[in-house]
Amino acid sequence: MATRRTGTTTTAKRSAGAAKSAARRRKPADPAVAWARSLARSRPGLVPFVLDGLAGAYGTPTWARVHDPTSELILTVLAQNSADINAEKAFDALRAAYPRTAADAADPVAGKVNRPGWGGAGIGGGDAPDWLRVEEAPLPELEEVIRPGGLARQKAPRIQSALRTIRAARGDHSLEFLGELPPLEARAWLTAIDGIGKKTASVVLLFAFGMPLMPVDRHVERVSHRIGLIPEKATADDAHDLYLAMVDPTRAHEAHVNLIGHGRKTCHARKPACARCPIAPRCRFVDRRAP
């Protein structure tokens, strides 16, 4: 005699199918969050150990706005693949060539200003350049003005394109509105501009508004790989989001400034000064099995 299929069996199969469908629809785990949790399990307390050690060596930097966000953006573009001190020369040349006031044109380097995390000597104080004049300048002229910064043929059209995009979207060149947006939304707005990546956008938002974003340059990337703060195959672009998951937002500014300073002063590319490094006891460059 054939056995009648029960409703219980049918219901169980439907439930199993629904569970499988739900599993397929479930969003994959955020790789940055997954890494942060894995690091916390395998090397407990590493991130605060690093930040506390660097603070002990270099102090705890205090955030304060030094440049307006548009100046911060253009200065950072000028610094792409160039020394900061050369970017400063190019920015001061912009102020001299396209001044807002006669005073700026007469004395473009009066009262140099600088901020933590910057590798140069500072740029001239006073007003920013007249961004509309910069945007509308003949391209060969602008290239000549910023030539001291290096890579002028690449950066001049990039700067004009960025300024044009901002003005088209906002009606002027001000980026002050970004301070009202959530950090990741503000970063996404900036990275939608051609030639502006996560590092440049994060620099602008961290230093102009104090947003808890982590710019990762070559120094921060090198130090992070050596200590083991980020995976071996992680790129600098990946590291921006890894740090968002790892670092307490209240310490983002401190983390960036001290990691970049550590890379410049101690954890050099060729001959790192490991003997005087405060992170050496837990650094995987010093000991591949460091805890």
- Tens digits of residue pLDDT in 177-194: 999 999 999 999 999 999
Query: Percent of the chain scored above 70 by pLDDT?
Result: 87
- The pLDDT value recorded for residue 124 is 78
- Please give the Cα distance from 192 to 202 (Å, whole number): 13
- Contact status, residue 87 vs residue 75, Cβ threshold 8 Å: yes
**CATH of region 69-209:** 1.10.340.30
Q: Is the pLDDT of residue 6 over 80?
A: no
For residues 1-27, give the mean pLDDT. Answer: 55
What are the residue ranges of CATH 1.10.340.30 in the chain? 69-209
For residues 228-240, give the mean pLDDT. Answer: 96
> What are 244-269's pLDDT values in tens digits?
999 999 999 999 999 999 999 999 99
The two tokens of residue 271 are 């001959």
> Where residue 2 falls among pLDDT bands split at 50, 70, 90?
very low
Active site residues: 199, 217
For residues 149-162, give the mean pLDDT. Answer: 97
Q: What is the 3 state secondary structure string of the chain? A: CCCCCCHHHHHHHHHHHHHHHHHHHCCCCCHHHHHHHHHHHHCCCHHHHHHHHHHHHHCCCCCCCCCCHHHHHHHHHHHCCCCHHHHHHHHHHHHHHCCCCHHHHHCCCCCCECCCCCCCCCECCCCCCCHHHHHHCCHHHHHHHCHHHCCHHHHHHHHHHHHHHHHHHHCCCCCHHHHHCCHHHHHHHHHCCCCCCHHHHHHHHHHHHCCCCCCCCHHHHHHHHHHCCCCCCCCHHHHHHHHHHHCCHHHHHHHHHHHHHHHHHCCCCCCCCHHHCCCHHHCCCCCCCCC
Fold of 39-61+214-282: Endonuclease Iii, domain 2 (1.10.1670)
> What are 90-103's pLDDT values in tens digits?
999 999 999 987 65
- The pLDDT value recorded for residue 24 is 54
What average pLDDT does the structure give for the chain? 91
> What are 75-128's pLDDT values in tens digits?
999 999 999 999 999 999 999 999 987 655 555 545 678 888 999 888 877 789
Q: Is the pLDDT of residue 8 over 80?
A: no
What are the residue ranges of CATH 1.10.1670.10 in the chain? 39-61+214-282
